[in-house]
Structure 1
């Protein structure tokens, strides 16, 4: 069965309104396609490893990746690494800059996981920074006005 990988944003989950609506629309309009939507790890290096492992594990059935915000950053990384078609929704472009104000002790608002973000975590995000996409014909950018974090202005 063909699958699409859905990657949620920072401090979000596969049960967010956006993720659930995406899954619902795929089920209604493309029931032959399954949606893989993992709860992404809070720490960047763990999330990067996690999405890489999922892409490798499902490489024979993965037809694309959709990512929102931080998930869009990770989707861009997977597009370049695995040549996957990607849809990126208000993607974080440089989260290692965006998350500077989050350094310190964090509590994931949905999982209640307590963790600390530091310089080493920003370095992990910088290590997989993708200033360009491998194949622009395989990436669809959806950018919206008024996003609470990533307004396109």
Structure 2
């Protein structure tokens, strides 16, 4: 059994939420394989990397289970609409091709130190990747905080209408007190194909 955690733009598997998720799985679901890939910094390289991870899981007949933060939330949406399954989205990016207009040019990933450029072509690739519709809103659990300084939570609230949406006052883009939601996150991911946590 697998769960795939997808981090956001300018982030890493070493991010706080990814690390908290790894620790939670190690304690409560050691029978699960949590995959936390390093997502390429530029979108042109992302599909091949993610498909290499996702396609064997789907081919095995196992339901796809994703956790995606920010840009990782957008990518989770993109994958679920291709392959089916369930996803938990944390302050997910909506229409990131609009957001990325402000990021054109050179950047350095603060975790890896890798330098890269965001180009107009990358923005158009993001636009082409966006699923036109949400086929099954119930496949998504969406965690939003109104204090998100990077994204307008109302865009995600509208896009994933009909899903399992939690909106909290305050907070920020990192999603304050994320660890408090991990039990509910994994309950949702395994609701249709139950996996019991290890008794403590």
Range 26-35 or range 94-103, more displaced: 26-35
- What residue ranges of structure 2 are gaps of 5+ in the alignment? 155-200
Deviation of residue 47 (structure 1)? 1.6
Secondary structure in structure 2 of the residue aligned to 1:65:
strand
TM normalised by structure 2 equals: 0.72
Deviations 1:63-89 (A, max 9, x none): 401100000000000100000211111
Contact (CA 8 Å) 1:4, 1:36: kept in 2 or not?
A: yes
Say whether 1:41 aligns with 2:44: no
Range 24-33 or range 84-93, more displaced: 24-33
Deviation of residue 22 (structure 1)? 1.1
Contact (CA 8 Å) 1:4, 1:62: kept in 2 or not?
A: no
- Structure 1 runs of 4+ aligned residues shifted over 2 Å read 57-63
Distance across 1 between alignment mates of 2:103 and 2:40? 16
Contact (CA 8 Å) 1:7, 1:71: kept in 2 or not?
A: yes
Match of 1:14 in 2: 13
Contact (CA 8 Å) 1:8, 1:70: kept in 2 or not?
A: yes
Alignment of 1:106-121 (within 5 A): 106-121=107-122
Deviation of residue 131 (structure 1)? 4.0
Range 11-20 or range 56-65, more displaced: 56-65
Deviation of residue 151 (structure 1)? 4.3
TM normalised by structure 1 equals: 0.92
Secondary structure in structure 1 of the residue aligned to 2:4:
strand
> How large is the Cα RMSD of the aligned pairs?
1.4
Deviation of residue 148 (structure 1)? 3.1
Deviation of residue 62 (structure 1)? 5.5
Match of 1:3 in 2: 2
Equivalences, count: 152
- What residue ranges of structure 1 are gaps of 5+ in the alignment? none
